[in-house]
Structure 1
Amino acid sequence: MSWRSGDRVSVKERALAHFSFVTGPVSRLLATAQNGLEVLRYGGLETGAVPSPFQIVESVPMYRLRRYFPPDSRPGGKPAGPPVLMVHPMMMSADMWDVTRNEGAVGILHAAGVDPWVIDFGSPDQVEGGMQRNLADHVVALSEAIDTVKKVTDRDVHLAGYSQGGMFAYQTAAYRRSKDLASIVAFGSPVDTLAALPMNLPAGLAVGAADFMADHVFSRLDVPGWLARTGFQMLDPIKTAQSRLDFLRQLHDREALLPREQQRRFLASDGWIAWSGPAIAELLKQFIAHNRMMSGGFSIRGDLVTLADIDCPVLAVVGEVDDIGQPASVRGIKRASPQAEVFEYLIRTGHFGLVVGSKAASQTWPTVAAWVRWISGDGEMPQDVVPMALQPDQATDTGVPLASRVAHGAGAAAEVTFSVARSAAGAFVAANKSARALVAETARTLPRLARLGQINDHTRISLGRIMTEQARSTPGGEFLLFDGRVHTYEAVDRRVDNVVRGLIQVGVRQGAHVGVLMETRPSALVAIAALSRLGAVAVLMPPDADLHEAARLGAISDVIADPVHLEAATALPMRVLVLGGGESRDLEFADDADVVDMEQIDPDVVSLPGWYRPDPGYAKDLAYIAFATVGGELVARQITNFRWALSAIGTASAANLGNGDTVYCLTPLHHQSGLLVSLGGAVVGGTRIALSRGLRPDRFVHELRQYGVTVVSYTWAMLRDVIDDPAFVLNGTHPVRLFIGSGMPTGLWGRVEEEFAPAHVVEFFATTDGQAVLANVAGAKIGSEGRPLPGGGHIELAAYDAEDDLILEDDRGFVALAATNEVGVLLAHPRGPVDPTASVKRGVFAPADLWVSTEYLFRRDEDGDYWLVANRGSLIRTPRGPVFGDAVNDTLGRIDAVDLAVTYRVPAGERELAVSALLLRPGGSVPTADLNAAIVNLPVGSAPDVVHVVTDMTLSATYRPLLGPLRSAGIPKGSRHAWYLDEDGTYKRLTAAVRAELTASADE
């Protein structure tokens, strides 16, 4: 039998196939073993890749500045293009920009005609002092590197940063105010860190955790490179596990692995470096717990910085499925930098894929190169780069959408399970958001109110004492902001102690009355606190008042003055102690003047006497004397430590102040609002306080952002100057959440809340002695004084007969209570010392009880909220009935065109006329119909007899309208801007004839 050739081929093929079946797995096993051994021995496969050439242009302990493809490496001496300085995050090596030569950032940019530079911060654990680096060190170093690149290339620099490196880029641009920067390119860099957190962590949980970790963990702990790598991988454990599984499955196929081997090795081991504890703590504290990339007011070596100062173009590269630098967080740059043109480039990839990998090579870096050429005037804007839309203040979702995660990730089932669990948790968190907020607020408020409730006459409490407590608990905590600089609690407390030693050296003792005549600046705050710590009485002298009368009323023995007020102080017949002045220390005074320069006293050589005990003040002790002008006369207001503590703790509680807040003190410290509300609330709340040199409308918005102001204190119509300023524009976001103060007119109140939404106004009412304190915490009822502040003492509203000016009694002879919406006199059950000038009542509601009449008239509505209607002494009694001035002012102030409204009495013979003056908003007018419609809503009392429009109102130093100049002008002249109340109860134009009748009545 013979074999055919086809049969022989078939048999051969079958034999080879059988051999391959036997040897294939063996070869695969051998290849796997060989490649695996190489990975074990060398950490990865040898790729033969050569890094891109670079030159070290600058080398200092903090960084090395690399210039890739330096001029001598360019063929034919090709000129360099626009410089791009790339910034890596702290936990990653600077080699991330050159992971693969052909597909890495520096190679692609160079090929596109761009001049790539890289700042290399090195590994801090391998540099002396490296593990003590903080964020400010990196920002300052990057700023210095920009100067070098600018000097070498003589061109403005494009700053490009990945993840935290992009945050550095933003912060440095703000620190430099965009000097020498052509643009910023940020890849997956969070700005509004609380808008969307990795793994959809709730913001409330993240804030608390970040604060705790910053204060108690990373203040003592550094992060080694392996831990940084592990933490990064844990943020996306599914992708990490999938990558490792894919590598193991392809370990036999060297050719398939080599193209991605450098990237794998970088992420698996080579790319991670140590992270210093102080830098992590500062990151957690400033940019997560306090979210100061958005609010502003973050500190770079004592200078306060805000992203609102960035005015160069910005390109934010957004990863559509980036679960670390989430889109909602990255897009916060649009609201944080209202002066900058902000663009975005959306790419469907995760966090690391933005800068390394196939999509980065084919999409990200060509787009960046085109962006740089466009900004430099050499090309068109990249097609997929679009202006960033303004995002809402509050994110509508908490992170990367579920559908995007599922579509992008491998292991769909596991991802779906993971995401559904997170979504369910997110729904639970959203449903309980108000509950979490209440818990957080309660955790801060209850201890304060408990402390307030425990205060008695012999409790040691004072400004100096609480400042010491804060300095001990958070010595490095930021406290005092002024002129763009920040001072810590420890630094301020040390300065206070030094001034105390100086006061002791010149003979000031506990109980002495010492005048303080100073501008609102750090030295004034220190002087007031030092007198408190010494146990002396600080007499707060208004610079625009009669200083001799203030000195007499305050019974002062010495006066502390700054150089600005030295001349005025030396006119007083007493010793002058000069403190502060900073830049102006040239003291000029008469030879016979008794002047001591406190700055020349060395506190280290002062011996403390045996009698000295720091912070000896009891609650009952007199601590301050402030001044007010009543009826044209200067009146002294005595403030005890209890009164100060009541306002300070009450403010901190009502405003829910915490260490993430910054209180903006617009009122001078010699005013009660500045001392009791702004300074007091900030010290008790552990917040930062920003002192101003006075209200400057042109600087107001900038300082809000520069200082990161969350709470603005005001008095009366102060904010009117801001809102009415022609240059006032509030572009982009702002950090303010509250305005706190007293006396804000209703019309201005509504305008402030409209302009600064979602911020609202918290209006306080407090008697001079502090026995009655009300606060409109909710802010829902514009014009209301709110409800009694917990811990502020018991109050009642006594029934009142306005016609006869009598407090009414019941059948048993006790004081009757006013019914709902009836006018009554506010009574306070006193706690602590009673002012000897107060109107004290006994046997009011029970035998031998003691109450103080505040002499203010209120009504209480159905919800229990109090509304101030008048001061008892300013009540105007007309033939039609009593006119309650404050109630009228609130009602007229609600007319849209009205800026300010005040009501006052004008004598008309044997009777009185109630006259209301209206100051209108720019361009506003009041039709008669609007006036009549408004007065219908007057809640109590009669309408004013005459209403007229004035062109201006004189305001006091605290922005309260002064009635004296208006009252002295008498009955207004007839005009189209004046009305009288006719017998039918409606307003009609005031004519010359009607005025003549009114004037005749007055003459009679």
Structure 2
Amino acid sequence: MVDLSAITKPVGRLVATAQNGLEVLRYGGLETGAVPSPFQIIESVPMYRLRRYFPPDSRPGATKPGPPVLMVHPMMMSADMWDVTREDGAVGILHRAGVDPWVIDFGSPDKIEGGMQRTLADHIVGLSEAIDTVKTVTGRDVHLAGYSQGGMFAYQTAAYRRSKDLASIVAFGSPVDTLAALPMNLPASIAPAAADFMADHVFSRIDIPGWLARTGFQMLDPVKTAQSRIDFLRQLHDREALLPREQQRRFLASDGWIAWSGPAISELLKQFIAHNRMMSGGFAIHGDLVTLSDIDIPVLAVIGEVDDIGQPASVRGIKRAAPKADVYEFLIRAGHFGLVVGSKASTQTWPTVADWVRWLDSGGPMPEGVSPMPVQPSAPSESGVTLASRLAHSTAAATEMALTLAKSAADALVAANRSARTLAVETARTLPRLARLGQVNDHTRISLGRIMTEQARDMPHNEGLLFDGRVHTIEAVDRRVNNVVRGLIEVGVRQGARVGVLMETRPSALVAIAALSRLGAVAVLMPPDADLAEAARLGAVTEIIADPTHLAAASALDMRVLVLGGGESRDLDVPESGARAQIIDMEKIDPDRVELPGWYRPNPGLARDLAFIGFSTVSGELVARQITNYRWALSAFGTASAANLSRNDTVYCLTPLHHQSGLLVSLGGAVVGGSRIALSRELRPDRFVQEIRQYGVTVVSYTWAMLREVIDDPGFSLNGNHPMRLFIGAGMPAGLWQRVVDVFAPANVVEFFATTDGQAVLANVKGAKIGSKGRPLPGGGEIALAAYDPEDNLILEDKQGFVRRADVGEVGVLLAHPRGPVDPLASVKRGVFAPADTWVSTEYLFRRDEDGDYWLVDNRAAVIRTPRGVVFAATVNDAVGRLDAVDMAVTYEVQSNGRTLAVTALALRPGGSVPSADLSEALADLPVGSPPDIVHVAPDMTLTATFRPLAGPLQKKGLPRASRNAWYLDPDTHRYKRLTVAVRSELAGTSQ
């Protein structure tokens, strides 16, 4: 008997396949009969439509809706992703669990007028407005839930609002530390440069249509995409088997993808991949600077074990980025899309989310599977999805293994050549700067104004200046500089004029200095705490630019005052004492009506030209320091090279702009490096941590003991992640240096030493030898150490009469081969090492160790010569400063009973004490010179405006009093003992 089923079954299968296939070809998929979940449009604006699913019954006695959850889709996916299937979709499951589901729908931008010009910030501001609406309608705080980039929106919006009206955040596979683990295990070393290039040169010109977004998503996992298509074709005959997954298949295959605007992609690439500002902070939302560290509500991160897009290492970055938030995680064995759609999402993800919302809303036990997220290291050991997870999740085991083995081999090669690669990257960035500096001669046109013009031409839309929580583009800053130039021309300021700048650290001060440079005038940087009349006389000032804060002080001088900045609401009333001064409000000048004269050429300054005049105090007297354009360029290019500054950096200028370090190092290095400049009104410990996170600060400038004001403050606390990689400045005490690198690890310190004329510049770039001034900067001038006899204060000569070079470890006078204009007050020496050569003596004493690093010993004029031998202040201060209890130290000379004594004063850290044994050990083996005669704890140590400890006020008090915190050097034992009244009387030559 013939078995007809053997014939009919294949025929029936073939017919079913043909019928189903025809339906797919005609309609894009199989008809499932699924009905979307009901929703109501609560708000409709051009940026979004706000849906409320399963709108509540408003009749009396009806069940009140539960806590609201607002769900956010990524830019490239349709908002319908939350309702792919009514029974198993997010909104349906949450509704049945007693939660009130809301969805923000940004629509498809290519179908909305102006949609393809949307920026990332537009989405965040729109989401923030939607939160306000949900809060108004429900009267309850909102739980914010976002998938992939939608989760990033949720984090960013919560930070933008500082968590206002939010109950929690739930993020599904949302990267935070984007460079910790990139999709397809792309190397983080190339991502920033590639993202910057794509943002500036590709997506600034094109958009991504929906079909391309779909293709790109599928290409991230081509093996799984191909496997899904094959499975669909193999089951095309079995309609019942296909129907449960048909809605999901159609969504991923076609319906779920929408266009993506180029500006939004550019902003995403630039802010959150190239600069990783989800971690560092300082990302801009319509001009406001935002940091995730402001999030202080509970966070649940849903993590896919085999998610190749939102990889676990990247998703877990939220723990470090939001230190004030209670962060939890829920681990699910799923890929990226499987976190929110599919069988595992319906049985695990959404029931857990509902439990999470109820837990926070009503209390009770923590949802099953949810646990506090552990703190991840800043450089996670996990590089992405593990090989074991891949093999367990994918059928392409051989392919995955081959890729992983290849990557392992590549990693080994990279590790073996890491030093060479790092050197190559740094060289590529540094060489152009050094080459340009090497080409500078007296007639080269170079100045602060010129460099700022170049930056505005090359990258006008980059963020340039951060202040008071706002961001200004390089183009906007440059436009303001040009407007101030026009104002200066209008009031008669010409090239070469010497104009005083008396302003607090603010954008208008930076603009004023840059405008004078662009005009070719000389900016005389007047310190507010100095004798202004004397500063004006030394600087030969003809008029002063002042802000409203310093108007009264400026108007007391007999010269014209140009008032700049201060905002629109300004009180420019002048006290009677300043009535004779002429006051001009620069803000009332319309730059568009100023006709530029024929003589004006922007940025005319040559390297040899005087550009700035700064001031310092020497022996209590104010001294003017002339700074040429070459001197400024040397420090600016040198700082940018030594600190490896780039567009990825934000430089926090704690140093006032009137201080030479602020002008030459902080501002100069940032401008040359193309870095963002963050200005702070003043050093306030309570603002320091908040601002470095808000601005995404990577480099902090300092002078002397400035940073002790931060880390010694009782309220200082550095919890969680910080973005800083470097501190740059000069004069930091050795002990404070060690504490800074301990507190702010892994950040390093780059300590500079530069003479006032800029002829000699040293930098400790590596930071390995705390206290060392490092080595000469590449591109800087040649330096040498002249052998020196400290007893007789003489530079030593050889048998031919030339100066002898100091040996390793020997004290020598630092000489600089002059390059560019020489300061008229400099000590110039000729015929030093060869006939007719010329060198400038810095008058500083150094020693050079066997590695070639330079250590400051003392100033030649400050060497203390005692009956026991020579005492070098800097060497002693470094030695005692390394004691844990010591905050700062100064060493000075005291005349007593007809002889010279060396005295060292200590400032101790709060609660610190110094045993005499520790003191004796610290000073027993000084590399050069002798230890001091007396050491004592000074209850009050006077600091300058730049936080430099002063010896003068202590010196005037003479010998310190006998106390338990004062010690003398016993000449017999060479140990320090308690200074008693009897010993002090003997030293002073008085009776008890």
Taking the aligned partners of 1:499 and 1:536, their CA distance within structure 2 comes to 13
Taking the aligned partners of 1:594 and 1:757, their CA distance within structure 2 comes to 52
**Residue matched to 1:624:** 612
Contact 1:542 1:670 in 2 (8 A): yes
1:78 to partner: Cα distance: 2.0
Taking the aligned partners of 2:591 and 2:897, their CA distance within structure 1 comes to 66
Taking the aligned partners of 1:45 and 1:76, their CA distance within structure 2 comes to 42
Taking the aligned partners of 2:921 and 2:363, their CA distance within structure 1 comes to 64
Deviations along 1:909-958, one digit per CA (max 9) or x if unpaired, are 44311000011111111001100111123111000010001112110000
* SS of 1:71 mapped into structure 2: coil
Letter in 2 for 1:219: S
Q: Say if 2:505 is the partner of 1:505.
A: no
Contact 2:885 2:909 in 1 (8 A): yes
Taking the aligned partners of 2:430 and 2:991, their CA distance within structure 1 comes to 55
Q: Which stretch shifts more, 375-384 or 873-882?
A: 375-384
Deviations along 1:264-294, one digit per CA (max 9) or x if unpaired, are 0111111111111111111111111111000
**Residue matched to 2:657:** 669
Residue among 154, 162, 181 paired with 2:166: 181
Contact 2:124 2:156 in 1 (8 A): yes
**Residue matched to 1:999:** 988
Letter in 1 for 2:666: S
Residue among 287, 311, 314 paired with 1:329: 314
**Residue matched to 1:694:** 682
What aligned pairs does 1:926-941 form with structure 2 within 5 A after superposition? 926-941=914-929
Taking the aligned partners of 1:688 and 1:815, their CA distance within structure 2 comes to 46
* SS of 1:395 mapped into structure 2: coil
Give the direction of change, closer, same or farther, for the CA distance of 1:434–1:354 in structure 2 (3 Å limit).
Answer: farther
Residue among 766, 782, 786 paired with 1:798: 786
Q: Which stretches of structure 1, 4 residues or longer, exceed 6 Å deviation after superposition?
A: 73-76
Contact 1:199 1:422 in 2 (8 A): no
**Residue matched to 2:630:** 642
1:907 to partner: Cα distance: 1.0
Contact 1:204 1:436 in 2 (8 A): no
* SS of 1:796 mapped into structure 2: strand
Give the direction of change, closer, same or farther, for the CA distance of 1:365–1:520 in structure 2 (3 Å limit).
Answer: same
Contact 1:563 1:584 in 2 (8 A): no
Q: Say if 2:132 is the partner of 1:147.
A: yes
Q: Which stretch shifts more, 75-84 or 388-397?
A: 75-84
**Residue matched to 1:448:** 433
Deviations along 1:825-875, one digit per CA (max 9) or x if unpaired, are 000001100001000000011110000000000000010000001000000
1:423 to partner: Cα distance: 3.3
Taking the aligned partners of 1:883 and 1:583, their CA distance within structure 2 comes to 57
Give the direction of change, closer, same or farther, for the CA distance of 1:378–1:885 in structure 2 (3 Å limit).
Answer: closer
1:429 to partner: Cα distance: 3.4
**Residue matched to 2:546:** 561
Letter in 1 for 2:437: L
CA RMSD of aligned residues (A): 1.3
Letter in 1 for 2:945: A
Q: Say if 2:714 is the partner of 1:714.
A: no
Taking the aligned partners of 1:583 and 1:171, their CA distance within structure 2 comes to 31
Q: Which stretch shifts more, 725-734 or 378-387?
A: 378-387
Q: Which stretch shifts more, 42-51 or 583-592?
A: 583-592
Deviations along 1:250-276, one digit per CA (max 9) or x if unpaired, are 111111000000100111111111111
Aligned residue pairs, count: 988
**Residue matched to 1:963:** 951
* SS of 1:459 mapped into structure 2: coil
Give the direction of change, closer, same or farther, for the CA distance of 1:247–1:483 in structure 2 (3 Å limit).
Answer: same
Give the direction of change, closer, same or farther, for the CA distance of 1:1002–1:996 in structure 2 (3 Å limit).
Answer: closer
What aligned pairs does 1:578-617 form with structure 2 within 5 A after superposition? 578-589=563-574, 592-617=580-605
Letter in 2 for 1:280: I
Taking the aligned partners of 1:684 and 1:998, their CA distance within structure 2 comes to 55
**Residue matched to 2:557:** 572
Letter in 2 for 1:307: L
**Residue matched to 1:837:** 825
Taking the aligned partners of 1:232 and 1:200, their CA distance within structure 2 comes to 15
Residue among 835, 841, 864 paired with 1:847: 835
**Residue matched to 1:221:** 206
What aligned pairs does 1:406-805 form with structure 2 within 5 A after superposition? 406-589=391-574, 592-805=580-793
Contact 1:908 1:1002 in 2 (8 A): no
Letter in 2 for 1:996: S
Taking the aligned partners of 1:183 and 1:776, their CA distance within structure 2 comes to 46
**Residue matched to 1:241:** 226
Q: Which stretch shifts more, 407-416 or 954-963?
A: 407-416
* SS of 2:52 mapped into structure 1: strand
Deviations along 1:644-680, one digit per CA (max 9) or x if unpaired, are 0001001000000010100000011000011111100
**Residue matched to 2:866:** 878
Unaligned runs of 5+ in 2: none
Contact 1:907 1:1002 in 2 (8 A): no
Q: Say if 2:169 is the partner of 1:171.
A: no
Unaligned runs of 5+ in 1: 1-10
Contact 1:295 1:306 in 2 (8 A): yes
* SS of 1:919 mapped into structure 2: strand
**Residue matched to 1:899:** 887
Taking the aligned partners of 1:277 and 1:430, their CA distance within structure 2 comes to 37
**Residue matched to 1:5:** none
**Residue matched to 1:110:** 95
Letter in 2 for 1:517: L
Q: If the length of structure 1 is used for normalisation, what is the TM-score?
A: 0.97
Q: Say if 2:901 is the partner of 1:916.
A: no
Taking the aligned partners of 1:566 and 1:929, their CA distance within structure 2 comes to 55
Letter in 1 for 2:980: T
Q: Say if 2:975 is the partner of 1:990.
A: no
Taking the aligned partners of 1:852 and 1:1001, their CA distance within structure 2 comes to 46
1:434 to partner: Cα distance: 3.6
**Residue matched to 2:256:** 271
Letter in 2 for 1:621: D
* SS of 1:192 mapped into structure 2: coil
* SS of 1:740 mapped into structure 2: strand
Taking the aligned partners of 1:450 and 1:618, their CA distance within structure 2 comes to 18
Taking the aligned partners of 1:76 and 1:97, their CA distance within structure 2 comes to 29
What aligned pairs does 1:45-194 form with structure 2 within 5 A after superposition? 45-72=30-57, 77-194=62-179
What aligned pairs does 1:966-985 form with structure 2 within 5 A after superposition? 966-984=954-972, 985=974
**Residue matched to 2:21:** 36
**Residue matched to 1:311:** 296
Give the direction of change, closer, same or farther, for the CA distance of 1:400–1:72 in structure 2 (3 Å limit).
Answer: same
Taking the aligned partners of 2:990 and 2:23, their CA distance within structure 1 comes to 111
Taking the aligned partners of 2:389 and 2:466, their CA distance within structure 1 comes to 44
* SS of 1:275 mapped into structure 2: coil
Deviations along 1:722-760, one digit per CA (max 9) or x if unpaired, are 110011111001000000000000110000000000001
Letter in 2 for 1:54: F
* SS of 1:858 mapped into structure 2: strand
Taking the aligned partners of 2:976 and 2:834, their CA distance within structure 1 comes to 47
1:964 to partner: Cα distance: 1.0
Contact 1:839 1:854 in 2 (8 A): yes
* SS of 1:797 mapped into structure 2: strand
* SS of 1:854 mapped into structure 2: strand
Give the direction of change, closer, same or farther, for the CA distance of 1:432–1:105 in structure 2 (3 Å limit).
Answer: farther
Contact 2:558 2:580 in 1 (8 A): no
Contact 2:813 2:846 in 1 (8 A): yes
Q: If the length of structure 2 is used for normalisation, what is the TM-score?
A: 0.98
